[in-house]
Amino acid sequence: MKQHAVNSSNPTNFRFELARWSIFAILILTYILVYFHRMAPGVVSEFLMADFGISGARLGSLAAIYFAVYAVMQIPSGVIADTLGTRTSIIFGNLVAGTGSIVFGLAPGFEMALAGRFLVGLGVSVVFISIMKNNAVWFHEKVFGIMSGLTLFFGNLGAVLAAGPLSQVLTVFQWRTVFTGIGGLSLCLALAGFLVVRNKPQDMGFDPPNTYADHFEIHNSHWVTNLKSVAMTLRVWPGFWVQLGMIGSSYSFMGLWGIRYMQDVHLMNRAGAANLITAQLLSFALGALFWGWISDRIGKRKPFLVSAAAAYLLSWLMLMYLPWTPGITGYIIFIFMGFAASGFVITFAAAKEIVHPHLSGMGVSVVNTGCFIGTALAQPLVGYIADLTWDGTMAAGVRIYSAADYQNGFIAMVLFSILALAAAFRVRETYCRNSFKE
């Protein structure tokens, strides 16, 4: 494996560093908006329920349509990243997501809002896989774990913005104004992607940071053949189930039901509830950096993934059965839950190290599909279960659920967590190197 030395006094190396970090910056700014859209419904949920006159199940569907289309698009996203490249994905992804956000912000009714969220999910669905592909071709493979953690860290800043800060912004601006403004920003990033982003170092006259031995060379197979070879690699699939269980339940809570739960059960105001979710999201972001770094540093994947999945299951049991309050004990549980859930980042590195190096986009996309199928299932499921036992209490046109209603819904989250832990034990140890031919 050849790694090119970086010497800041060398003009070529300086231009290479400037190019790859400029590209990374454009991609990360886009990814911040991906997470904003992912988590914002939890903060504006009461406005959505009131403006559109919808139940918990329909609110869950409005949030989940983003994840459903995202899940459907993960395999195509991997194909696009490996064939057309990052540049095409980012340009068109921002154009579609920006349009969708504007439609959502201007929607006169539930159906139009649903269409807007669909377009947002469609547009942002290509972003993460494109960043992972970019990280694989612009950075050395030995730092892929920490680059994955860094990517998720910055992305989660968007989720943080969609919690406490968004709650404060809503005291000044209407939720519709916020989403139309975010849509305009996405359109600007589409232009920046056209001007700055390039698919690989060779497109700008640079040598690639990774070179592979002959047995890693790939023939000019059709993308369908390549996708089939990835999908038929059974060792990839445990990561899919880890993400479905762990992140499906985590995103469902952080992105929709967590704030509603604290408002209904613990009688917190929106700002106070959003602060707890903000702490959880910050822990999730920092945890992604930690898990990626420690996995790369020690040279192992599986022990850390299993530990994170076990801790995440424990966090749900603590949330449901310990006598905590929204004060210090609440912050401890929420921070612990966010930190444990972020260990899922290891599944990306493990997937990339199992498939052919030139098919990393497809490999990552397969496991990433689990995350969004899980969330698309979990968000409406919690609302549906809560609706079944709801006693009819309402306030300002919004359904109020009891502690028992949420407790019933959260049992599903525990089952999701158990699935993730079981799958983590099935993930193959790669020792932080590509084991495609092993």
3-state secondary structure labels for all residues of the chain: CCCCCCCCCCHHHHHHHHHHHHHHHHHHHHHHHHHHHHHHHHHHHHHHHHHHCCCHHHHHHHHHHHHHHHHHHHHHHHHHHHHCCHHHHHHHHHHHHHHHHHHHHHCCCHHHHHHHHHHHHHHHCCHHHHHHHHHHHHCCHHHHHHHHHHHHHHHHHHHHHCCHHHHHHCCCCCHHHHHHHHHHHHHHHHHHHHHHCCCCHHHHCCCCCCCCCHHHCCCCCCHHHHHHHHHCCHHHHHHHHHHHHHHHHHHHHHHHHHHHHHHHHCCCCHHHHHHHHHHHHHHHHHHHHHHHHHHHHHCCCHHHHHHHHHHHHHHHHHHHHCCCCCCHHHHHHHHHHHHHHHHHHHHHHHHHCCCCHHHHHHHHHHHHHHHHHHHHHHHHHHHHHHHHHCCCCEECCEECCCHHHHHHHHHHHHHHHHHHHHHHCCCCCCCCCCCCCC
Tokens standing for residue 410: 């959260």
In angstroms, the first-to-last Cα distance of the chain is 17
Please give the domain boundaries of the chain with CATH numbers for all domains. Answer: 11-201+223-424 (1.20.1250.20)
pLDDT given for residue 245 in this prediction? 96
> Looking at residue 436, what is its pLDDT?
62
Q: Does residue 66 contact residue 38 with C-beta atoms inside 8 Å?
A: yes
Average pLDDT value for residue range 295-306? 91
Residue 77 — pLDDT band, cuts 50, 70, 90? confident
pLDDT band at 249 (very low <50, low <70, confident <90, very high): very high
pLDDT of residue 89: 92
CB neighbour class for 344 (10 Å; exposed up to 12, middle 13-18, buried from 19): buried
For the entire predicted model, the pTM comes to: 0.75
Across residues 373-387, what is the average pLDDT?
A: 90
| Res. 303: pLDDT tops 60 | yes
Beta-carbon contacts of residue 209 (< 8 Å; ≥ 6 apart): 3, 4, 138, 139, 140, 201
pLDDT (0 to 100) of residue 64: 85
Amino acid at 359: L
What's the mean pLDDT in 422-432?
88
Report the pLDDT value the prediction gives residue 2, as an integer from 0 to 100: 41
- pLDDT exceeds cutoff 50 at 230: yes
pLDDT of 392-425, one tens digit each? 998 877 889 999 999 999 999 999 999 999 999 9
- Is the pLDDT assigned to residue 220 strictly greater than 80? no
- Confidence band of 212 (pLDDT split at 50, 70, 90): low
Burial 155-164 (b: 16+ CB within 10 A, else e): bbbbbbbbbb
Model confidence at 11, pLDDT cuts 50, 70, 90, reads: low
Which pLDDT does position 409 carry in this prediction? 93
Q: Which residue has the higher pLDDT, 6 or 79?
A: 79
pLDDT of 193 higher than 60: yes
C-alpha span between 61 and 48 (Å, rounded): 12
Rg (CA), the chain: 21
pLDDT value for 431:
78
What pLDDT is recorded for position 213?
53
Percent of the chain with pLDDT over 70: 93
* Amino acid in the structure at residue 324: W
pLDDT in tens, 107-157: 999 999 999 999 999 999 999 888 988 888 888 877 877 888 888 888 888
Give me the pLDDT at residue 396, please: 78
